[in-house]
Structure 1
Amino acid sequence: MRARDLLADFSTIQLDSPVIDAARMLAEQGLPGLIVVDDDGSPFTILPGTQVLRLAVPGYCQDDPALARVVDEAHADTFLNALDGRTVREALPRQQHELPVTDPDATVLELAALMARTRSPLVAILGDGRRLIGAVTLRALLDRVLAG
């Protein structure tokens, strides 16, 4: 089985898009992450949903989870408001890691190794001319492999 057999159309977002739009896309489409593209439409990085949360959750709550418990429920329910006016670029980790991209001929083991190595829940698949043709998600990979 190859990447082309697991390939699905996948939502992308631009670097300077509002990060709240990324959060909405993740929620509405049930995605594990988004492919962030540059101005040319080429994959720039993968934005996992957890990284969007990292930008929204106050640092003091990340550093000391006990502090998150003392925030009253009304304020806790509005933590995503911290994303207002911020861009996808701001949600990205400061240090860029290996970009999880491959071609349609990659095997499922190659895809799994790439996901594991990059800690990414999806891999962007590039066709001729390094054009984005879709993605393979962790769920699609596991569903297919476990079905045997």
Structure 2
Amino acid sequence: MHAGDLAQPCTTLPWDCDALEAARTLAFGTDPHLVLVAADGTPRRVLHGTEFIRLVLPEFVVAQPGLTALYGLDGPHRLKETLAGRRIGPCLAAPASRPLVVAPSATLTQVMLALVGSGSQLVVVVSRERDTAEVVGVITARDLLAHVLSPPGGQGEPALERSTPKNP
């Protein structure tokens, strides 16, 4: 089996899309993350809900968490105000590292090594052709574990075997 076989579809949005649209897509969509892509389809960032939540908090509250009790927070209003009329790229915090990317032909062992080596929870599976890229989907660490632990044939939950200590 290869990465392309295990990849789950995911929502992608252009890097320069409307920030409020991206927040709404994440909030009301089915995916817990969005893959933001460059004009050529190359993944630039995997976006999680916490990045939008951070936009609600003023920098001084993030720097001094003890001030949270003194700060009245109108989160929904502040988030909409912060995002309205802006592009998602400039709204994001300091540059994050590029998403972990593998080819559809990568073996599952290669995907595992990539995850372990990066500390990431997911890889983006990307098909490349000449000057363009297409996101095939994502594989999360959870997806990999479920695949590895599922019984042959993939039917039902795996039967866990109990090992019985042998007395010498």
TM class, shorter-length = 0.7 to 0.9
Aligned equivalent of 1:78:
77
Structure 2 residue matching 1:104: 3-state secondary structure: coil
Q: Distance in 1 between matches of 2:77 and 2:117?
A: 34
**Cα distance in 1, alignment partners of residues 93 and 110 from structure 2:** 25
**Contact 2:56 2:75 survives alignment (8 Å):** no
User: For 1:120-135, what aligned pairs fall within 5 Å after superposition?
Assistant: 120-129=120-129, 130-135=133-138
Percent of aligned pairs sharing the same letter = 30
State how far apart, in whole Å, the 2-side matches of 1:134 and 1:41 are: 12
Aligned residue type for 1:80: L
SS in 2 for 1:114: helix
Q: CA deviation at 1:85?
A: 2.5
Structure number with greater Rg is 2
Q: Deviations over 1:91-145 (max 9, x none)?
A: 3443352431101233444334434554544321122524322222344234334
Write the letter of the residue equivalent to 1:20. L
Map of 1:95 onto structure 2 = 95
Comparing 92-101 with 60-69, which one deviates more in the overlay? 92-101
Q: Cα gap change, 1:83/1:100 in structure 2, threshold over 3 Å: closer, same or farther?
A: same
Higher helix share: 1
- Structure 1 window deviating more from structure 2 (48-57 vs 113-122): it is 113-122
Q: CA RMSD in A?
A: 2.7
Measured against aligned partners, the alpha-carbon deviations of 1:43-94 in whole angstroms (never above 9, x if no partner) come to 2232233223333321122112222233336x24534222222221113443
Distance 1:85 1:41 in 2: 23
Q: Report if aligned partners of 1:13, 1:35 keep a CA contact under 8 Å in 2.
A: yes
For the residue of structure 2 that corresponds to 1:140, the secondary structure is: helix
Q: Which letter maps to 1:9?
A: P
2:139 counterpart residue number: 136
Aligned to 2:14: 14
Unaligned runs of 5+ in 1: none
- Tell which has more relative contact order, 1 or 2 (C-alpha 8 A, sep 6+): 1
Identify the residue that residue 158 of structure 2 maps to in structure 1: none
